Amino acid sequence: MIKELFRKKKYGTININNAENDSKKIDSEYSKNMKKQEKKDIDNDFWIRCKGCGETFSKEELINNFNVCIKCDQHLRIGARERVELVLDESSFIEYDSDMKTLDPLSFPGYDEKIDKAKEQSGECEAVVTGEGRINEIPVVICVMNPEFMIGSMGSVVGEKITRAIERAIDKELSVIIFSASGGARMQEGILSLMQMGKTSAALSRLADKGLLYISVLTDPTTGGVTASFAMLGDIILAEPKALIGFAGPRVIEQTIRQKLPEGFQRSEFLKDKGFVDKIVHRKDLKRMLYRILDIHTIGGGKNE
């Protein structure tokens, strides 16, 4: 059946019944491509291979299990919209700044094409979705980074959307939840990308001055400039199990300090042991946990006074 699906997907317009040679060619192409394909995490529209245990599951099976591996509990990366659906009450989401688009301020070679490809792959305009909604009736402002868009890299638009969302939370006296998933600052925007670290951090400082709560949720991967700014500034910092969380990559660190890094370095569990993370929460429990925190620390999602 997989073979049939593959044929339809890849060779849908070829008439394989009437051309034996073509058929042989297709079979050899098929084996070659299947081998290549097996190495990918996401195989096609129907099957997903878990990068934790290597087992393959149907997309439907995994969706029914919060996109967490049924065998090894690996939390697979999910898109921003799926995350919004997972944590907010149904139909409660009101999106902010959905049409904000990236320009190419430095005329960086190939950047426009990269953005177009990311848009096509993710179906989103940028690497973060922001807005407000409710968690068991408590109103919150949320920002969800999208690992499917240039691995959630932070450029001007990501920083601007997050900053505006925080400012709206200040105006409305609401708590903020940010789900981080990022490869770091976006090099194609140079210093304009790096300054988003300061801008988002300053907005969070103003939120804190107003006595409003900020919950940071770290998901796989949270790295680079995002780790060095808003991801680590949460009043409460949660993380999904086994998420990669760090600033520089392990190889760079090993080369710099000339030491072998300990087992599990830069994973949620290690960071919790070292005090960077307050709690590791399984995806299926995430909404309940966020609700409990909001309920304890706020009055109707706003100030705790």
Quote the CA–CA distance of 258 and 265 in Å, as a whole number. Answer: 15
The nearest distance, CB 64 to Zn ion, in angstroms, is 15
Residue 190 within binding range of Zn ion, rule CB under 5 A: no
Identify which range of 71-79, 146-154, 187-195, 260-268 contacts Zn ion by CB under 5 A: 71-79
Query: Which tokens sit at 148?
Result: 């499917």
Residue 72 within binding range of Zn ion, rule CB under 5 A: yes
The nearest distance, CB 285 to Zn ion, in angstroms, is 19
Residues in the chain: 305
- Contact map string, positions 31 to 50, toward Zn ion, x by CB under 5 A: -------------------x
List the one residue from 52, 105, 190, 241 that touches Zn ion (CB under 5 A): 52
Residue 241 within binding range of Zn ion, rule CB under 5 A: no
Show the CA angle centred on residue 297, arms to residues 295 and 299, nearest 5°: 65
Quote the CA–CA distance of 47 and 57 in Å, as a whole number. Answer: 6
| 241 preceded by a cis bond (ω within 30 of 0) | no
State the DSSP code for 75.
Answer: B
Query: Which tokens sit at 33?
Result: 């491509």
Residue 69 within binding range of Zn ion, rule CB under 5 A: yes
List the one residue from 25, 71, 172, 284 that touches Zn ion (CB under 5 A): 71
The nearest distance, CB 72 to Zn ion, in angstroms, is 3
**Residue number with CB closer to Zn ion (41 or 95):** 41
**Residue number with CB closer to Zn ion (37 or 201):** 37
Q: Could you tell me if 30 and 8 are in contact, meaning their C-beta atoms sit under 8 angstroms apart?
A: no
**280 three-state secondary structure:** strand
Helix 80-87 and helix 286-297: axis angle, to 10°? 60
Identify which range of 61-69, 108-116, 167-175, 199-207 contacts Zn ion by CB under 5 A: 61-69
The nearest distance, CB 54 to Zn ion, in angstroms, is 7
**Residue number with CB closer to Zn ion (61 or 116):** 61
Identify which range of 4-12, 69-77, 125-133, 250-258 contacts Zn ion by CB under 5 A: 69-77
**Residue number with CB closer to Zn ion (23 or 74):** 74
Query: Which amino acid is present at 81?
Result: R
- In angstroms, how far apart are the furthest CA atoms of the chain? 77
The nearest distance, CB 48 to Zn ion, in angstroms, is 10
List the one residue from 16, 19, 34, 53 that touches Zn ion (CB under 5 A): 53
- For residue 40, what are the CA distances in angstroms to 5, 35, 47, 141? 17, 9, 11, 35
State the DSSP code for 154.
Answer: B
- For residue 201, what are the CA distances in angstroms to 19, 165, 178? 63, 13, 12
Residue 65 within binding range of Zn ion, rule CB under 5 A: no
Residue 58 within binding range of Zn ion, rule CB under 5 A: no
Q: Report CA 251 to chain centroid distance, whole Å.
A: 23
**Residue number with CB closer to Zn ion (72 or 252):** 72
- Name which of residues 121 to 140 contact Zn ion (CB under 5 A): none
Q: Which residues of the shown chain bind Zn ion in the complex (CB under 5 A)?
A: 50, 52-53, 69, 71-72, 74
